[in-house]
């Protein structure tokens, strides 16, 4: 099966509008989605991108042309499609978003019933093939069909409050920054039920992204939040990406906390209430998570990174939580899907219960297992680099769950290729020595970039 559209990726659809994704392709995708899944009723919504409403209407035309009833939820976040699909019993859901891509881009994330993911190995390639057939066949366009509207915010907020009841929280002072993405709408709906004192920053949804595209994993994107946090007076800082399926934390001093340590923290929070449960983690950085899960009497299971793999493994293991260092956090109580709101609630709950700040909660982890953070390098050939590095580090314990992991007594590293570009990603960690992390990271990068 050949590629027909530049916007079809491994896990979703994403591309520039209108060159790579447009209303014609969106309508064809709607038709193809129904042909592939057999869905009779589907929910959908879009993030703040300016092209979202037009793509949504085209998608609805495509769905309706195949006899599928569409329910439009308007401006929402990705996790609300996961919520609505499963909670209301739709046959599937489609979120129109390009997450943290540039403003001119848009895309779609799709699920089938029960919010099970659709990716290249579970129907996305077939949808691409069928969408191409629909465009060749023609007959696209025409008037907008009737569709239902649904305001899912009240039920979504109830769902979050069941996972973390407000009486479990203390009146912490929180700086919240959606970066003009969609999270502000959800946060306002949620925070009126919480005892928090929320200071709003870049809260108004704006698809022109006046403060840059929200992607707080990038230092320049989170810099304004760090600056405000450093003025003091806040217990916690939180920032989201545009469709808020990822959230990022800053401690009381304005220090950005790597997603790796949040995995350990959320595992700790959930195991406290559900002893003996299973936690899924990815192979990039592992030692901190393993130690925490072991201490808390849980079971840790490794899984290849990528949302489709993690969700599948969580279902197979009935895991309560799955975490990736890339700031995707998955919860059994959220149909094994990722959420950008639940991690905030659970972190605040843990801070209240332990009487510790976020800095105190993760400080020991950061000292015990310092890490390099993920470092990307553009390379001519990923397989060649992997082979070269492996030859250079004999005698380590090797794991190939995802790329190449090599483990020694005092340090370990993971090196893996990107799914979508000629980029290799390096993560290094040690037992208690940040000097060792720096030394090994420098040596590995010299070898990778040679």
Residues marked active site are found at 99
Burial label for 152, CB within 10 Å (0-12, 13-18, 19+), is: buried
Q: How far apart are CA 122 and CA 111, in angstroms?
A: 10
Beta-carbon contacts of 72 under 8 Å, excluding residues fewer than 6 positions away, are 43, 44, 45, 56, 60, 147, 148, 149, 150
- For helices 342-354 and 153-163, angle between their N-to-C axes, nearest 10 degrees: 30
Distance between CA atoms of 379 and 431, rounded to whole angstroms? 29
In the block, residue with structure tokens 């915010």 = 153
Q: Would you say 93 and 44 are in contact if contact means Cβ atoms under 8 Å apart?
A: yes
95 in Cβ contact with 66 (< 8 Å):
no
Q: Going by DSSP bridges, is the β-strand pair 236-240/247-250 parallel, antiparallel, or unpaired? A: antiparallel
Contact 335, 295 (CB under 8 A): no
Q: How far is CA 264 from CA 36, 256, 338, in A?
A: 38, 16, 16
C-beta of residue 357 within 8 angstroms of C-beta of residue 251: yes
Using a 10 angstrom Cβ sphere, with 0-12 exposed, 13-18 middle and 19 or more buried, the burial of residue 107 is buried
DSSP for 204-249 reads S--TT-TT----TTSHHHHHHHHHHHHTS--SEEEEE-TTSSSEEE
Give the number of other Cβ atoms within 10 Å of residue 436's Cβ. Answer: 17
CB 117 within 8 A of CB 92: no
Q: 33 by DSSP, 3-state: which?
A: helix
d(C-alpha 293, C-alpha 311), whole Å? 19
Q: Is 436 helix (H, G, I), strand (E, B) or coil?
A: helix
Indicate the burial class of 227 (C-beta count within 10 angstroms; 0-12, 13-18, 19 or more): exposed
Beta bridge partner(s), residue 198:
174
Q: Are strands 197-200 and 278-281 parallel, antiparallel or unpaired?
A: unpaired
């Amino acid at each position: 099966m050949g590629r027909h559209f530049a916007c079809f990726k491994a896990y979703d659809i994403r591309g520039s509008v209108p060159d790579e994704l447009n209303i014609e392709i969106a309508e064809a995708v709607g038709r193809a989605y129904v042909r592939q899944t057999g869905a009779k009723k589907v929910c959908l919504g879009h993030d703040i991108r300016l092209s979202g409403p037009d793509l949504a209407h085209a998608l609805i035309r495509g769905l309706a042309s195949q006899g599928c009833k569409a329910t439009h939820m308007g401006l929402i976040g990705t996790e609300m499609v996961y919520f609505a699909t499963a909670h209301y019993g739709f046959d599937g859901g489609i979120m129109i978003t390009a997450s943290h891509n540039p403003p001119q881009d848009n895309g779609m994330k799709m699920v089938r019933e029960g919010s099970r993911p659709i990716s290249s190995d579970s129907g996305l390639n077939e949808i691409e093939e069928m969408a191409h057939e629909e465009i060749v066949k023609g007959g696209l366009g025409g008037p907008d069909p009737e569709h239902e509207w649904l305001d899912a915010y009240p039920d979504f907020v109830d769902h979050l409050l069941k996972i973390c009841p407000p009486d479990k929280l203390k009146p912490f002072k929180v700086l919240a920054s959606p970066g003009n993405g969609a999270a502000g709408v959800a946060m306002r709906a949620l925070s009126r039920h919480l005892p928090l004192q929320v200071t709003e920053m870049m809260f108004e949804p704006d698809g022109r992204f006046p403060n840059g595209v929200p992607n707080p994993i990038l230092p320049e994107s989170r810099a304004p939040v760090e600056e405000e946090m450093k003025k003091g007076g806040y217990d916690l800082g939180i920032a989201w990406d545009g469709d808020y399926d990822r959230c990022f934390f800053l401690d009381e001093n304005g220090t950005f906390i790597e997603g790796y340590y949040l995995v350990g923290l959320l595992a700790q929070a959930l195991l406290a209430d559900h002893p003996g449960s299973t936690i899924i983690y990815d192979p990039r950085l592992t030692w901190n998570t393993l130690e925490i899960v072991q201490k808390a009497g849980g079971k840790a299971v490794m899984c290849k990174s990528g949302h489709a793999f993690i969700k599948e493994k969580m279902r197979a293991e009935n895991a309560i939580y799955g975490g990736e260092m890339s700031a995707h956090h998955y919860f059994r109580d959220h149909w094994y899907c990722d959420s950008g709101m639940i991690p905030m609630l659970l972190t605040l709950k843990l801070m209240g219960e332990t009487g510790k700040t976020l800095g105190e909660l993760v400080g020991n982890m950061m000292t015990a297992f310092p890490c390099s953070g993920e470092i990307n390098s553009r390379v001519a050939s990923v397989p060649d680099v992997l082979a070269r590095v492996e030859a250079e580090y004999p005698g380590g314990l090797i794991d190939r769950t995802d790329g190449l992991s090599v483990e020694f007594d005092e340090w370990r590293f993971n090196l893996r290729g990107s799914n979508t570009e000629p980029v290799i990603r390096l993560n290094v960690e040690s037992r208690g020595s940040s000097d060792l992390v720096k030394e090994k990271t420098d040596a590995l990068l010299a070898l990778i970039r040679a």
